[in-house]
Chain A
C-alpha cells in the first residue's frame, strides 16, 4: 500500500522503509534526505552556515500532489509500493526532512523511481524550506514549475 504523510515528529527511516515491503518484492530503495549545514548561495556562490531549518507546507495540497506523483510513478516504473513522509517545523542540522521508500520486484526500478520522485517532489509539492543563519534567514525559492497538468 502506498502512503504520503506530513509530520512534525522526528522521522524513523527504518519504519518507513519496512512499511512498503510486500512479499512479491525483492528490493526497497530508501532516500534519507536531511538538513545540511553548509549551503552554497546560488547567486553569489558564497557558502553559508545554516543553524537550523524550518519547513512549512500547504498541507492538503502537498498530500494531493504527493499522491499524484506516486500515481505517475506507478505508470512509469515497475514498482509495487511507495511511502513518502516529509517532516515539517523546525529541524536541527542532520535531522531527516524526508524519507521516500520505493519497493519493487527488482532494484533497478526502485532506484529509478526513487530518484524521479524526489526530483519531482522538489519541483511540485507545496512545501517550503527556511534556512536560518547566524546573521539572518531566508525562505529558499526553488525552480518554478512551468506547467502542471
Chain B
C-alpha cells in the first residue's frame, strides 16, 4: 500500500524534504511506519517524534490503510 508522509519544521529539515510516499506492507502499524522512516533518515532519531494519521494524533498501534496521510513531527511549539 502507499502512504503519503509529511514532515514539518525540524523533521522536514532532518529529512531534507517535506513529503514522501512510502510503500508499506499491508497491516503495517503507525509505529512500524515510523521506525521504517527513522531507519531511512537516522537523524530523526535525535528527536522525540509524534505521528498523526489523517489529521489526528496517533498512538502507534493503529493499522495504516492505502491512501492514508501520515505526518511526522516534533513536539509542537506554537503560540
Contact = CB atoms under 8 A, between A and B. Distances in A.
Interface residues of B, number: 21
Interface stretch (A18-26, A70-78, A106-114, A138-146): A138-146
B9 A130 contact: yes
Contacts of B52: 58, 61, 126
Contacts of A145: 50, 57, 75-76
30 contacts: A56-B9, A57-B78, A58-B6, A58-B8, A58-B71, A62-B78, A64-B55, A86-B78, A97-B79, A98-B79, A121-B78, A121-B79, A122-B76, A122-B79, A125-B78, A126-B8, A126-B73, A126-B76, A127-B76, A127-B77, A128-B10, A128-B77, A128-B78, A129-B77, A130-B9, A142-B76, A142-B77, A144-B50, A147-B59, A148-B56
A33 B17 CA distance: 30
Interface of A is mostly: mixed
- Of the four ranges (under 10, 10 to 19, 20 to 34, 35 or more), the interface on chain A belongs to 20 to 34
Interface in B6-54: 6, 8-10, 13, 47-48, 50, 52
